[in-house]
Amino acid sequence: MSEFKAIEAQLRGPGDAVERAAELSRSFAEAAALSGDAEVAFATLDTPVGRASVAATARGIVSVGLPNRPLDDFVARLATRISPRIVEAPGRLDYARRELSEFFEGDRREFDLPLDWTLVPSGFYRKVLDATARLGYGEVMTYGEIARTAGNPRAHRAAGTALGANPLPIVVPCHRIVRAGKDPGNYGGGPELKRWLLELEGSLPT
């Protein structure tokens, strides 16, 4: 059974949402196979705050590059940590680009995209990002609260490190984790972008 067929079999079930997920997985599988032995496909998209990037494997979205971050660094990280067999394939990443664009325009509150967690370490880091992925639009938690949700209430610094290394920002919304006071805290795309995202969702601490 091919990798895509295995994914599709796992997703099979009632409802349009399952069919949608299978269709998305097919698109990403095609992206990864677009250029012979290519294993990663990537593309860019324009947002109101700059150009962002997104990459996928046959399993799903593997990385999101925040607006105005160097594309060369984004691609180099994928080449080093996943595979040097990378192809730029914007047409094959239309689903992801569309959903990300809708989010940045304020027209989307949740994502319907399969994810590839390859770049996320196992253990506490993965638990932190799993908990973060469950935060709804406009919700915020403090670093201490997300650490407690992930099973270790004293590990707020480690939770911050896990969030800082998040390879799937926006889709796994680490911008929704803030400091206990009014300061939103650090962010990979810079504090201004974090404030912009929180303002977009109406959740900027005041």
Instruction: Write the CATH number of the domain with boundaries 3-104.
Output: 3.30.160.70
Contact in structure between 53 and 158 (CB atoms under 8 Å): no
- Give domain 124-200's CATH architecture: Orthogonal Bundle (1.10)
Determine which one of 52, 61, 120, 174 is catalytic. 174
**151: CB partners within 8 A, 6+ apart:** 124, 127
Return the higher-pLDDT residue of 132 and 5.
Answer: 132
Domain with CATH 3.30.160.70 in the chain: 3-104
DSSP state of 172: S
pLDDT in tens, 43-87: 999 999 999 999 999 999 999 999 989 999 999 999 999 999 999
Domain with CATH 1.10.10.10 in the chain: 124-200
Structure confidence at residue 187 (pLDDT): 94
Structure confidence at residue 35 (pLDDT): 45
Structure confidence at residue 183 (pLDDT): 86
Beta strands in the chain (DSSP E): 40-47, 50-57, 60-65, 86-88, 141-142, 177-178
Q: Is the CA virtual torsion 112, 114, 116, 122 positive or negative?
A: positive
| Residue 79, both tokens | 């080449």
72 in active site: no
pTM (2 decimals)? 0.83
The shares of helix, strand and coil residues in the chain, as percent rounded to the nearest 5, are: 45, 15, 40
Please report how the helices 16-32 and 3-11 are oriented relative to each other, as an axis angle in degrees rounded to 10: 170
Residue 12 pLDDT exceeds 60: no
- Mean pLDDT on 157-180: 96
Structure confidence at residue 91 (pLDDT): 86
